[in-house]
Structure 1
Amino acid sequence: MSEQEIKLHIPPAARKAVSQAVLKGDGAQRIALRALYFDTPDRALARAGVALRIRLEGRKWVQTLKMPGPDSITRLELNHPRPAAELDLSLYQGTPAADVIAALNAPLSIRYETDVKRITRKVRTRYGTVELACDSGLLRAGALELPINELEFELVSGRQQALFTLARRWQQQYGLIMDLRSKAERGDALATAAQEISRSDSAPSHGDPQRHAAIQAFWAPRMACSVKLDGDASSAAALTAIGIECLEQIVHNAAILAEIDTDGHYRAGRPEHIHQLRVGIRRLRSAWRLFQDWVEAVPDSLTQDIRGHFNAFGNVRDGDVLSGTVTPRLLAAGMPPVPLPVADSSTALDPRTLASDPAFQGWLLDLLGWTLGIPPAARNGTRQPVPAPTTEGNLADVARAVAAQPTATGELRTPPTLRRRLSKRLQRWHLVMVRDGARFAALSETEKHELRKRGKRLRYALSFATSVLPAARSRAYRKRLTAVQELLGEFNDLVVAREAYRSLTAQHPQAWFALGWIAARLDALAQEAQVEFGRLAQLRPFGR
């Protein structure tokens, strides 16, 4: 069977209130859960996205296998009662998990475990029934432990909208924080860290660096990942796949910045998490522009909020670039030290506060709900009703239900393939960009900034479309476009730094050194960028 669920982290200040609220309703139950998770030494199951556990639920043992579903909130779940804490892999013969189990080439052993106190209650909404599960406990792997404090919303029956409506209500009331990682994903990462630390303990001469590296790897920033598209897929299905990948990058980095694993006892979030969160937002905005007019317009609430959140995290990012990147170069060039302005702690928001903000978290939840059900653009102003996915449905069914819409004459018209659409749009973006880039040095500051944004949009769009484009030509183009973007990125960083140092000249005359050095570097970068744009213009990766 498939399960659809949303999991939200409960911050310390809300834990008592949330558990009491779950207990208040009719049918609330308490249960103790102890689970043992299995895998091979080389993590064969985890690498396949599969979690295999045996769990003591009260006094009963249940063996459960979970596999990825069509989206971030859906998983295939196979449950089997067991007489004791012993695995029986023969149970998966003839199931969707059969191939994964048959491919195992090493014995399974316990990799990590969870010990949880759960409170459950079913809630009926106008859209369906949802089961709440409030979990508190520990996740263990070797000598390491992580806290578990989360509220799960699982769809029992009805429409997917029931999940999002209820989760949004609780999220806003209690300041809950989205985390797309399952207990299994957290456990697998923790077990990897425990193994690395164990190895470092056996090598005292290198112990501390290895231990530090293992801890840093556990909370490493989530980078962008590739998306493999079907060149004949619908635009809605393609944008859903891209949107989910971007959302996972945003949510993961936001969760680390919100310190959901550490409760403030350890600052896991770093400037790179902020950067990668903003990269995820940029990629998402680029995807929306790439598919504009091919799917239904993104709701205004999502597009307006995305700018505000992007800028809020950007204010923190600009300070990091100034102090960590530009200033060291100026000092190395001979600039006398200049005291940088310190943000007013009474008004400035730190990354943890920004990432935990209910408005930002509510936007993430709304964004996930919209992305999972993107409808295609209406034709001639009309569109047939699209059925909402249910617990037994698949989002692909929705795409198929709207794939063929009638024209004004009532005839069915085959739309251009996704591959063709993407190639034409990317080619048009390329031509506009190289046209303006050919006169980069003469552009105004505003025009340079807009050109840089168009270049980022093209680079992200190209990364989405790579799987449906000619590999050799697109690879060469990406390399050349990356070179252009690196120059434009440095140009932008220096423009931001120039404004910061300009504001310091009255109190600190030595800041004039920075302005002179920056001006000279900006002139050199403008000339270099113009040359790179000329080289880029010679490539034809999209057209014939």
Structure 2
Amino acid sequence: MSETELKLDITPDDLEALAASELFSEPAGTLEQHATYFDTPENSLERAGFSLCICRSGAALVQTVKATGPAATRFARPQWEMPVTSEQPVIDGTTPLASRFGDIAPALSPLFEVNVLRQTWTMVENTSRIEVSADRGELIAGERRLAVCELELVLKDGELVDVFRLARKIEAIAPVTIGVQSRAERGYRLLDAAPVAIKAEPIYLDMDDTAGHAFRVIAGSCFRQFRLNEAILLRRQNAEEALHQARVALRRLRSALSVFKAHLGDEAKRLSDAFRWLAGLLGDARDLDVLVAKTASPAAHGNLQEARRTAHEAALAALSSPQARALMIDFNEWLQSGSYRREPALGKPAVDFAAHALDRQRKRLKKNGKDLAGLPDGERHQIRKDAKKLRYAAEFFCSLFEEKRGARRFALFSDAMEKLQDRLGVLNDLVTGPDVAAKYGLDDLEGSEQGRSPRNKTKLIERSQAALDDLLDAKKFWR
């Protein structure tokens, strides 16, 4: 979402119930909209971070060019609109496309289209004036079709917090979720095979960014990854990889809150604790997915499948609960308008904040990881979590250090980090595996005794220590 609008996904049935509620009067306007998206056969616009569509609303034709991802950071307002006289793209100096691609117009052709019926209302919440649009229709890409049903709340005058107050009133009547995908993104994804899961996308920060802006970009990216995978989870059975990536997204988000926590206030801790609740339920289901994959015994498989089914049902019930939906609205309101935004330290350069944060995470890992062999199992597990936090922080901030030396050092640092996490992960599985197996009555699980083997454990600790030492020997890409 932008700082003046909020998109909400809703089902067609729930939209009907909402429109018939006392909160909504007769719509001020109803309009059919038809939008056609264009690109080259190689999807040159999409690959460069642009979209181009021509939208017909009534008799009016408007061409819209948008920049997304790294392309958007180069422009103060990454969207350009202009009236056109036909449904043929116009490439001229009013948008960046001409300078970026030259005379690309002849190569552009329709890729997909969106047809919706839009209803609009003007609402007053406290003293704020908010335009509410409800769009219902479909996205068409060749033979493939995807239903479109969403609300858009646009602040016309007043305070952003009132947009979220209205969102809560809407959510009390009909379940809604925060929308994180543009129609262009949905269209391009519809052209491809349906994704099994969405991994973390690269985060692009600018050298001129403040620490506060960097935090919002990072946290927004983590939330987006979560929502994209949550959507897959809620519409598809046995979406194991989407569940895993949703859990990863919440871990990344909680790590971001931890990196910036000294400047975020008490609300950040409340939100982090709430996300931990969700991550815990996803973690229980993920653990059983892994156990089922490792178990060869048919008898054990049956017991595990039942436990796995129960864990997945609990996770899905939590994701669909009013508590989770309220959490998502709370988080986005806080992210966009929380009191932390007035914290002076967050007005300082992001590049300086990042360097100090990475130094701090690395120092902690170095201090606590001097002697893995001398640590109890629980403290070694904490080292694993510290390593993950350092990895996430490195991924959050790496775009601030993309000069040639920094990029080369980051690649070496990333390789060393991956090796460390792999070895600590194997060690953790050997140590905790027997207890997890016993929890489900699987003491005879093949290999469950290996974690208790002093020889195997000692060898893995030595390999983990070597990987940790290699990581600490790697040059800092941020200095």
The alpha-carbon distance between structure 1 residues 534 and 314, as it changes in their structure 2 partners (threshold 3 A), is same
Contact conserved, 1:487 with 1:529, CA < 8 A, in 2? yes
1:439-464 CA-to-partner distances (Å, cap 9, x unmatched) read: 22332222122111111001111122
1:298-333 CA-to-partner distances (Å, cap 9, x unmatched) read: 534312211111112111111111112x335xx7xx
SS of residue in 1 equivalent to 2:200: coil
Q: Which residue pairs with 1:307 in the alignment?
A: 276
Q: 2:289 aligns with which of 314, 317, 320?
A: 320
Alignment pair present for 1:510 and 2:437:
no
Q: Which residue pairs with 1:480 in the alignment?
A: 416
Q: How does 1:347-362 map to 2 (within 5 A)?
A: 349=313, 351-362=315-326
Please report how far the alpha carbon of residue 246 of structure 1 lies from its aligned counterpart in structure 2 after TM superposition: 1.4
The alpha-carbon distance between structure 1 residues 447 and 133, as it changes in their structure 2 partners (threshold 3 A), is same
* Whole-angstrom distance in 2 between the partners of 1:160 and 1:62: 30
Amino acid at match of 1:164: F
1:323-354 CA-to-partner distances (Å, cap 9, x unmatched) read: 12x335xx7xxx99665332386786255434
The alpha-carbon distance between structure 1 residues 247 and 75, as it changes in their structure 2 partners (threshold 3 A), is farther
SS of residue in 2 equivalent to 1:21: coil
* Whole-angstrom distance in 2 between the partners of 1:24 and 1:32: 20
Gaps of 5+ in 2: none
Q: 2:383 aligns with which of 441, 448, 451?
A: 451
The alpha-carbon distance between structure 1 residues 76 and 423, as it changes in their structure 2 partners (threshold 3 A), is closer
The alpha-carbon distance between structure 1 residues 97 and 131, as it changes in their structure 2 partners (threshold 3 A), is farther
Q: Which residue pairs with 1:274 in the alignment?
A: 243
Contact conserved, 2:98 with 2:104, CA < 8 A, in 1? no
Q: Which residue pairs with 1:435 in the alignment?
A: 367
Q: How does 1:223-372 map to 2 (within 5 A)?
A: 223-231=199-207, 233-259=209-235, 267=236, 270-294=239-263, 298-324=267-293, 326-327=294-295, 339-341=302-304, 342-343=306-307, 349=313, 351-372=315-336
Please report how far the alpha carbon of residue 170 of structure 1 lies from its aligned counterpart in structure 2 after TM superposition: 1.5
Amino acid at match of 1:271: E
The alpha-carbon distance between structure 1 residues 473 and 117, as it changes in their structure 2 partners (threshold 3 A), is closer
Please report how far the alpha carbon of residue 127 of structure 1 lies from its aligned counterpart in structure 2 after TM superposition: 5.2
* Whole-angstrom distance in 2 between the partners of 1:127 and 1:45: 41
The alpha-carbon distance between structure 1 residues 64 and 455, as it changes in their structure 2 partners (threshold 3 A), is same
SS of residue in 2 equivalent to 1:65: strand
Alignment pair present for 1:461 and 2:393:
yes
The alpha-carbon distance between structure 1 residues 298 and 466, as it changes in their structure 2 partners (threshold 3 A), is farther
Q: How does 1:84-233 map to 2 (within 5 A)?
A: 85-87=86-88, 89=90, 93-95=93-95, 99=99, 102=102, 104=104, 106-126=106-126, 128-191=128-191, 193=192, 214=193, 218-231=194-207, 233=209
SS of residue in 2 equivalent to 1:462: helix
Amino acid at match of 1:30: T
Please report how far the alpha carbon of residue 501 of structure 1 lies from its aligned counterpart in structure 2 after TM superposition: 1.9
SS of residue in 1 equivalent to 2:449: helix
Count how many residue pairs are aligned between Structure 1 and Structure 2.
465
* Whole-angstrom distance in 2 between the partners of 1:489 and 1:515: 15
SS of residue in 2 equivalent to 1:137: strand
Please report how far the alpha carbon of residue 296 of structure 1 lies from its aligned counterpart in structure 2 after TM superposition: 5.2
Contact conserved, 1:41 with 1:106, CA < 8 A, in 2? no
Q: Which residue pairs with 1:39 in the alignment?
A: 39
TM-score by length of 2: 0.84
Q: Which residue pairs with 1:534 in the alignment?
A: 469
* Whole-angstrom distance in 1 between the partners of 2:24 and 2:269: 37
Q: Whose helix proportion is higher, 1 or 2?
A: 2
TM-score by length of 1: 0.75
Please report how far the alpha carbon of residue 226 of structure 1 lies from its aligned counterpart in structure 2 after TM superposition: 2.5
Q: Which residue pairs with 1:387 in the alignment?
A: none
Contact conserved, 1:136 with 1:148, CA < 8 A, in 2? yes
SS of residue in 1 equivalent to 2:199: coil
* Whole-angstrom distance in 2 between the partners of 1:369 and 1:187: 28
* Whole-angstrom distance in 2 between the partners of 1:349 and 1:336: 22
Identity of aligned residues (%): 27
The alpha-carbon distance between structure 1 residues 24 and 287, as it changes in their structure 2 partners (threshold 3 A), is closer
Greater gyration radius:
1
Contact conserved, 1:227 with 1:245, CA < 8 A, in 2? yes
* Whole-angstrom distance in 2 between the partners of 1:114 and 1:220: 24
Amino acid at match of 1:170: I
